[in-house]
Structure 1
């Protein structure tokens, strides 16, 4: 297993974002929470017990409870700092979830799985924690996310420093996520993507939002050389040249993969044979535009 991320650094980034408390920067988490809740709302069943994995603000747990489809939710976080002091929450790392086998009807994971080094192992833990015919539903950033920023930082570093190092983490492709669900033993796996284009005045409020989201670079292979103001000024110029609209505002892409799968049960329908579907996934995907100041 390749180790890409520094878990201790991820935790520091998440805590810094929590202390910073910029509510406006939580827009992606709010979007994922609403989408997850809407998908649960149309499932024709009631879930007695649910688990929210590393939802930071807890907005996803609250939105899911508002659907009336869930009896109770246990929140799991990496630190008590994120959790209410009411005895209903637990502490566990992003990868060692400490979940009891067959303990829940529903597990939701909003925007945290992309930071796991052993994603297949994490998914297996989640599947084992579900009761038979239990549902897993998650959102995570996918390929295409921050593609403009990745391009700009690579170009700036090559121009000013004569080389390049990874400054934006790699994001999974939706097809890879579907394969991981199958590998982890989920039945009836489904994945799709929603793409959001967010506009900013410049690269600087974008970088501010990423820090406030806890999305600063946690790669073990990251460069340890501090970047100068000159670097970011040049990056802002390149960003504006390559990815700005007529009004001068720049674009940032966030591509969110929504994934679901069921713990196997004999009552479940069998999947269709390959090639027998009559609706293309592309026909149901939607594009959205957001503005961030």
Structure 2
């Protein structure tokens, strides 16, 4: 019996375009990268805590390059992969045998997450470790509420469906990772305006890549959203929350 194809929630074409735009925006002075910085720091802290010293590592999605540079300084042989450059996470990897695979900020917008995790596991050496971090359930609560209010009685799809802690655990179990660890942490950032939040989302590859993104907001709806965002804050700043889910496990 043929396996059932995963639902097409995200557009691969829009996803690649968003990441390419992100890579361009990241070359600008003072480009925001607090999401990737947080993920990189977390990976390094986990490796230090576990005293795990991989000889080889594959890093997927780290557009800052910080994780790779740090690991190379420790003597690790590093391979970098970027979806915007054609690396396909939902297909078998063209290389394997890594002691560590770190996937940063990409698995939240693939249609076949179990398949992507299976490919990660197959690309690991025996005894190798995966660490995958991405935006998760509970992310951007202020923006979600504002978009619903701005759209009125007929809301359009504007923000991504997300994986929560429970689903993350089920994914690791389903894809046969040993000693799985699942945790979620909030990253709070204050913004002076809705436009600045949207700008930061685009610059970090977090904009809408849904297969059916819905129509753009009308000018009146956008004005309502801007006003609602300002009203949700204090002293000219509105705090938004980015929830980061990290899945880790081993190939035994």
Q: TM-score, normalised by structure 1?
A: 0.79
> Which residue of 78, 96, 101 maps to 2:91?
96
Aligned partner (choices 112, 118, 121) of residue 124 of structure 1: 118
Give yes or no for contact 1:100–1:129 (8 Å, CA) kept in 2: yes
For residue 170 of structure 1, what is the aligned residue in structure 2? 161
Give the aligned partner of residue 3 of structure 2: none
- Which residue in the other structure is 2:250 paired with? 262
- Per-residue deviation at 1:97? 4.9
The structural deviation recorded for 1:58 is: 2.1
2:47 corresponding residue in structure 1 = 40
Q: Take 2:52 and 2:46, find their aligned partners in 1: how far apart are those partners?
A: 12
CA distance in 1, matches of 2:122, 2:63: 23
The CA deviation at 1:92 is: 1.6
| Distance in 1 between residues matched to 2:83 and 2:31, nearest whole Å | 23
Unaligned residue ranges in structure 2 (runs of 5+): 1-5
How many pairs are equivalent? 245
- Following TM superposition, the consecutive aligned residue runs of length 4 or more in structure 1 with deviations greater than 3 angstroms are 63-66
Contact 2:140 2:242 in 1 (8 A): yes
Instruction: Give per-residue Cα distances to partners, 1:62-86, cap 9 Å, x unaligned.
Output: 23444x2x52110012345xxxxxx
For 1:234, the equivalent position in structure 2 comes to: 224
**Could you say which residue in structure 2 is the equivalent of 1:277?**
none
TM-score under structure 2 length normalisation: 0.91
Quote the residue 2:189 is aligned against.
198
RMSD: 1.6
Correspondence for 1:6: 11
Following superposition, the deviation at residue 99 of structure 1 comes to 3.9
CA contact (8 A) 2:10 2:109 kept: yes
CA apart distance, 1:220: 1.2
Q: Which of the two has higher C-alpha Rg?
A: 1
- 1:56 and 2:47 correspond: no
SS in 2 for 1:73: strand
- 1:75 corresponds to 2:80: yes
What does 1:109-188 correspond to in 2, within 5 Å? 109-158=103-152, 162-188=153-179
2:99 to 86, 92, 105: 105
